[in-house]
């Protein structure tokens, strides 16, 4: 019985670490996000609040604050089977948005590492 318990623990550990590794592959650098967006291979969804968006944002991004995401999923429906990149200030809210979109059936969802702060640090364009 004790051996079975250790085997179960090992399986649970492997499942947890492999899903963590899989989640890590769904992140992009700001440069990768910029390239995918400019090549029309992905859309960027900015989940920051209105005041953050108004201060500056990525050209061409779609603005849907995280708190409104579930109610506004229909706006993103045309992109359900296309790459979608979530972005916020530093990466925390965009990770939550990524999970919400994946739960809603979006098939190719990425989050941008470091958010708009990292985008700015790399000297990428904003408006």
- Active site residues per annotation: 88
Q: What is the dihedral of CA 60, 64, 66, 69, to 10 degrees?
A: -120
Contact 87, 112 (CB under 8 A): yes
Contact 52, 75 (CB under 8 A): no
Q: Give the chain's radius of gyration (CA, Å).
A: 17
- Pair of tokens at residue 88: 């916020």
- Pair of tokens at residue 42: 């992905």
Residue with tokens 């650098």: 29
């Amino acid at each position: 019985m004790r051996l079975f318990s250790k085997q179960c623990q090992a399986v649970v550990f492997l499942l947890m670490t492999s899903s963590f590794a899989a989640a890590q592959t769904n992140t992009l650098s700001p440069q990768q996000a910029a390239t995918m967006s400019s090549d029309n291979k992905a859309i960027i969804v900015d989940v920051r609040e209105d005041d953050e968006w108004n201060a500056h944002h990525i050209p061409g991004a779609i603005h849907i604050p995280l708190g409104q995401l579930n109610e506004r999923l229909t706006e993103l429906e045309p992109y359900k089977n296309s790459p979608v990149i979530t972005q916020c200030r530093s990466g925390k809210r965009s990770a939550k948005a990524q999970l919400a979109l994946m739960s809603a059936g979006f098939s190719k969802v990425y989050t941008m590492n470091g958010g708009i702060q990292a985008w700015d640090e790399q000297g990428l364009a904003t408006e």
